[in-house]
Each structure stands twice: as structure tokens, then as C-alpha cells.
Amino acid sequence: DAKTTQPNSMESNEEEPVHLPCNHSTISGTDYIHWYRQLPSQGPEYVIHGLTSNVNNRMASLAIAEDRKSSTLILHRATLRDAAVYYCILRDLDSGNTPLVFGKGTRLSVIA
């Protein structure tokens, strides 16, 4: 799996949008961009993934740069419950059921 770079930490006010960046300059054409998050004292949970087009689901949006060398996870209205470590992970199309390779992630703090 190719390497990703994320800021160590970010802070947001409650009810405001949060943009979590991820750089992946060595991404290959068959790498999907996955995001997981780990809430305090819990296991990681899947958030969203995409290849080229922007993606939306009930949890978040994923904006992917045109050259695919970076992406941004967008939480539209941060809540206290969104405080977590967010991991950006590249997965090859053929990775199938291979393990996830976690980096350090971004620790998001949400202020009331």
C-alpha cells in the first residue's frame, strides 16, 4: 500500500465543517482512497472510500483532487462525537481481503 501523509492533529468547533487533508503523491492508478476513524476506546470504523470522483455518504464526503495526489475528508457539521483519530489509507483494487495498513492518522478535537 502506498504511503499517505496527514497532519498529526486538528481542531474544530462544534457545528462547523471540518476538512481533513491527506496527501498521497505516490498513488497508483488502481489505488482507492479509504478513510477509517477510531473513536476513543473503540475499534476503527469505516468512513468512506473513493477512486476518482467525489463521494458522499451519511457520515462524510470525500473530495479527491483531479491528479489524485491528495484528498480531503469533509465532515459537514462536526459534533463532539466526531472527536477521533482519522486514518487515510490507500488500497489497491486487487487488495481484496488483505489487512489495512494504518499510518499515524489525524487526531481531531471538537470544541463545544
Instruction: Please give the residue ranges that form the binding site for other proteins (CB under 8 A).
Output: 32, 36, 38, 41-46, 49, 51, 85, 91, 93-102, 104
Q: Three-class SS of residue 101?
A: coil
Residue 5: half-sphere exposure toward Cβ, Cα within 13 Å: 6
- Closest to other proteins by CB, 65 vs 93, is 93
Least distance (Å) between residue 94 CB and other proteins? 8
- Closest to other proteins by CB, 2 vs 14, is 2
Name the DSSP class of 47.
E
Least distance (Å) between residue 74 CB and other proteins? 19
- Closest to other proteins by CB, 30 vs 79, is 30
Least distance (Å) between residue 109 CB and other proteins? 15
- Closest to other proteins by CB, 96 vs 112, is 96
Residue 14 CB partners (closer than 8 Å, separation 6+): 78, 79, 80, 110, 111, 112
3-state SS of 1-32 is: CCCCECCCEEEEECCCCEEEEEECCCCCCCEE
Least distance (Å) between residue 38 CB and other proteins? 8
99 grid coordinates? 489487512
